[in-house]
């Protein structure tokens, strides 16, 4: 048995591996399912008991030596293949895939540009807001029923703080800290505790406008909104103001724009009315001016607000609000041409 082990050890050491075929033959002979070393293990039972341990160790050493030699040559062969790979450096590289603007960003920037052309500046504020700027200062005291119209996310550890329900809170801050006259728009994200569906979400985007000066009238508001509608939806766009109620404006109105899909003739999108609701507006309530430290006997103003998500859905005929926040590349790729 010892002579066989020595002979196999010599064969393993002297075996010439000069290519893939020789390496495979070596593996089959010494490491395969029917290799010669297995035959030695089967013969151990004929070895005297006192020699079996030493013989078994010697056979295991042979197996390890064969495995190490195979691994070494196998690694060398792989490295040689890698170094022999030819690369044509004159070939053009892979083109970077271009991204696309989000429809909310496109619409938001377009609206900002329109109002910037007539002197409106952009104001921003915190998304975590206090009760005064979000409710009380805007003519919604603690027991005001209009608070129930907005399902609010309150901060659990401090109920006086909340996620803002509208960007009107920024307008309140602007009125408190800026000199008159004020002409500003406030775009941003707002939050409502609502069930998520194709037409509603727990967060969405608004853009609100505010103009305060001496002798500002409802006619100024109407002309400003008509200018926006014709700049954004086309020169043939019309607007309609319907009486409504908002706690921080008086009088108040809902803003409708003529349906761009049917040119006001009536279709499924506008529910055959020829009109699409895009926001609200009105004259700033005198109580709000007082709360901001502005004399309502000398100054008047108007405010308006649009749902940017709503306008984006109308502009691009998007039928599910959830698509705007799911970050689906297939959806976003459609807006590459709108840069």
Structure pTM?
0.68
Of residues 204 and 38, more confidently modeled: 204
Domain ranges within the chain, ordered by starting residue: 2-82, 103-338
Whether residue 120 is predicted with pLDDT greater than 90 in this model: the reply is yes
Whether residue 89 is predicted with pLDDT greater than 90 in this model: the reply is no
Q: How many angstroms separate the CA atoms of 171 and 191, rounded? A: 17
Model pLDDT, residue 147: 67
Please name the residues in contact with 183: beta carbons below 8 A apart, sequence gap of 6 or more.
119, 120, 121, 210, 211, 212, 213
Q: Which of 34-43, 217-226, 259-268, 307-316 has the lowest mean pLDDT?
A: 34-43
pLDDT category of residue 1 using cuts at 50, 70 and 90: low
Cα distances from 87 to residues 78, 84, 100, 132, in angstroms, run 17, 9, 33, 67
Q: How many angstroms separate the CA atoms of 132 and 159, rounded? A: 12
Q: How many angstroms separate the CA atoms of 96 and 315, rounded? A: 29
Most confident stretch, 23-27, 154-158, 184-188, 232-236:
184-188
Whether residue 78 is predicted with pLDDT greater than 70 in this model: the reply is no
Percent of the chain residues past pLDDT 70, beyond the cut: 90
Quick count: other Cβ atoms within 10 Å of Cβ 250? 15
The arithmetic mean of pLDDT across residues 185-212, rounded, is 90
b/e sequence 116-154, b meaning 16+ C-beta within 10 Å: eeeebeebebeeebbbebbbbbbbbeeeeeebeebebee
Model pLDDT, residue 277: 87
The arithmetic mean of pLDDT across residues 28-38, rounded, is 74
Q: How many angstroms separate the CA atoms of 61 and 240, rounded? A: 93
Model pLDDT, residue 45: 67
Model pLDDT, residue 160: 84
Model pLDDT, residue 77: 61
Model pLDDT, residue 114: 96
Cα distances from 164 to residues 43, 132, 160, 280, 298, in angstroms, run 84, 11, 12, 18, 30
Q: Helix-strand-coil percent breakdown of the chain, rounded to 5? A: 45, 20, 35
Architecture of domain 103-338: 2-Layer Sandwich (3.30)
Summarised one tens digit per residue, pLDDT across range 39-59 is 766 776 676 777 767 777 777
Q: How many angstroms separate the CA atoms of 305 and 207, rounded? A: 6
Model pLDDT, residue 229: 93
Of residues 72 and 185, more confidently modeled: 185
Q: Are 164 and 130 in contact (CB under 8 A)?
A: no
């Amino acid at each position: 048995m010892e002579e066989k082990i020595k002979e196999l050890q010599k064969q393993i050491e002297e075996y010439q591996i000069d290519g893939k075929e020789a390496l495979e033959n070596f593996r089959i002979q010494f490491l395969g399912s029917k290799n010669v070393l297995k035959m030695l293990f089967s013969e151990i039972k004929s070895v005297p008991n006192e020699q079996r341990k030493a013989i078994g160790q010697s056979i295991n050493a042979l197996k390890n030596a064969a495995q190490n030699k195979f691994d070494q040559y196998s690694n060398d062969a792989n490295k040689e293949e890698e170094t022999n790979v030819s690369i044509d450096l004159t070939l053009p590289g892979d083109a970077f895939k271009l991204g696309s603007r989000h429809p909310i960003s496109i619409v938001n920037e377009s609206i900002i540009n329109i109002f910037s052309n007539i002197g409106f500046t952009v104001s921003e504020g915190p998304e975590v807001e206090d009760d005064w700027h979000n409710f009380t200062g805007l003519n919604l005291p603690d027991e005001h029923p209009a608070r129930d119209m907005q399902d609010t996310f309150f901060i659990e550890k401090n109920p006086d703080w909340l996620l803002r329900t509208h960007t009107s809170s920024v307008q309140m801050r602007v009125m408190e800290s800026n000199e008159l006259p004020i002409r500003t728009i406030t775009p941003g994200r707002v939050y409502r505790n609502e069930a998520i569906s194709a037409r509603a979400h727990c967060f969405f985007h608004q853009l609100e406008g505010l103009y305060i000066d001496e002798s500002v009238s409802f006619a100024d508001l109407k002309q400003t909104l008509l200018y926006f509608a014709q700049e954004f939806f086309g020169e043939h766009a019309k607007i309609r103001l319907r009486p409504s109620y908002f706690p921080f404006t008086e009088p108040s109105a809902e803003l409708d724009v003529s349906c761009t899909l049917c040119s006001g003739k009536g279709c499924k999108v506008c529910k055959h009315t020829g009109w699409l609701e895009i926001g609200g507006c009105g004259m700033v309530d005198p109580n709000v001016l007082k709360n901001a430290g502005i004399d309502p006997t000398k100054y008047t103003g108007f405010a308006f607000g649009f749902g940017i998500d709503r306008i984006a859905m109308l502009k691009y005929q998007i039928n599910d609000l959830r698509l705007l926040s799911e970050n689906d590349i297939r959806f976003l790729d459609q807006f590459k041409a709108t840069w």
